[in-house]
Amino acid sequence: MSKLISFVIPCYNEEQSLELLHEGIVENCKHDYEIIFIDDGSTDNTRQVIRDLHEKDKCVRLIAFRRNFGKSVALQSGFHNAKGDIIITMDADLQDDPSEINAFIEKIEEGFDVVSGWRRKRRDPLRKRLPSKFFNRITRILSGIKLHDFNCGFKAYRKQVVKSISVYGELHRYIPVLAHRKGFKITEIVVKHQKRKFGKSKYGRKRYLRGFFDSLTVSYLSKYYDKPMHFFGMAGLLFGFVGVGICTYLTVIRIMGEPIGTRPLLILGVVSIIIGMQLFSIGILGDILTHNHFKSQYEENHVDERIQ
């Protein structure tokens, strides 16, 4: 029985590459397919090229944004509209080779939920490769997931995966981490990475700082999403113990007759206690909100199969 494969492809000023990419997908996909191009506020002729492709091939679909919202928003929109049993994401710049599509599908059919590409020989400038290696290493350490290339845009997912996660900010590069948190099986395959044929990279230096902050977000979500008290409670206890220790010391020396009213240490002790109480309170509120959230959505997030 043929599966429906959804290709979700964000585009930003890639008018020259789209026809070649479409030809490659059609030639290599052995299943029924739909191709969802998300025009992320392009200023060139990208949108019209997609319209022309739709006239030739009704399996081509267009989602067009009024302005550039970023890759995460584009992917989330594509995931929301995808109808396929398997969703494959690719970059629109022809650096992902469509001839490897079936290798991703075969891995999904082996029982994996997420298959991530690994650009072992990456055809990008050194200024892009070095920061990518750094962030991949940091993400492996923080998440505990042994993938080599989190940022590769060439990935395949079961439909259940993309319908159960939310992607925003710069979290598109951390989708495997979000999927792992929900219990999905993840693997990777080595893919060929080709040099960019047209245009230039759309990513600037600012994405590195944003990526660092998002790595911290993912680290928190992967470890403490369903138990916020473990994070805020421990931090609150640490500040609280420091504050109580300082105030105890000051109380003792005050009893011994030394003045403490002008000591900066007194302010530090009081502030530490206040911060500790606030963090502890945030942990309690977080646990209450998490409990109510999972109480209403427990089955949606956890049930893999049901026979009735």
Q: Which residues are bridge partners to 87 per DSSP?
A: 6, 157
Exposure string (b/e) for 22-54, b if CB count within 10 Å is 16 or more? bebbeeebeeebbbbbbbbbbeeebbebbeebe
Q: Burial of 218 by CB count in 10 Å (0-12 exposed, 13-18 middle, 19+ buried)?
A: buried
Query: Would you state the pLDDT for residue 211?
Result: 62
> Which residues have CB under 8 Å from 185's CB, separation 6+?
111, 112, 113, 114
Q: What is the rounded distance in angstroms from the CA atom of residue 184 to the CA atom of residue 108? A: 12
Termini Cα distance of the chain = 24
Determine the 3-state secondary structure of 6 from DSSP: strand
Query: Would you state the pLDDT for residue 306?
Result: 44
Domain extents in the chain: 4-224, 228-302
User: Is residue 27 a contact partner of residue 110, using CB atoms and an 8 Å limit?
Assistant: no
Alpha helices in the chain (DSSP H): 18-28, 46-56, 71-81, 101-109, 126-143, 159-162, 175-181, 206-224, 228-255, 264-302
Phi-psi domain of 256 (left: phi exceeds 0; alpha: psi -120 through 50; beta: other): alpha
Distance of CA 232 to the CA centre of its chain: 23
pTM for this entry:
0.74
| Digitized pLDDT (tens) for each residue of the chain, 308 residues in all | 568 999 999 999 999 999 999 999 999 998 999 999 999 999 999 999 999 999 999 999 999 999 988 888 899 999 999 999 999 999 998 889 999 999 999 999 999 999 999 988 887 777 777 777 877 887 787 777 888 888 888 999 999 999 888 887 677 888 888 888 888 999 999 998 888 777 666 555 566 666 666 666 666 666 666 677 878 888 899 999 999 999 999 999 888 888 888 888 999 999 999 999 999 898 888 777 766 655 554 444 445 544 44
Could you please state the CATH topology (level 3) that the domain comprising 4-224 is classified under: Spore Coat Polysaccharide Biosynthesis Protein SpsA; Chain A (3.90.550)
Q: What is the rounded distance in angstroms from the CA atom of residue 73 to the CA atom of residue 71? A: 6
> Which residues have CB under 8 Å from 91's CB, separation 6+?
9, 10, 153, 154
* Vertex 197 angle, CA 192 and 198, to 5°: 140
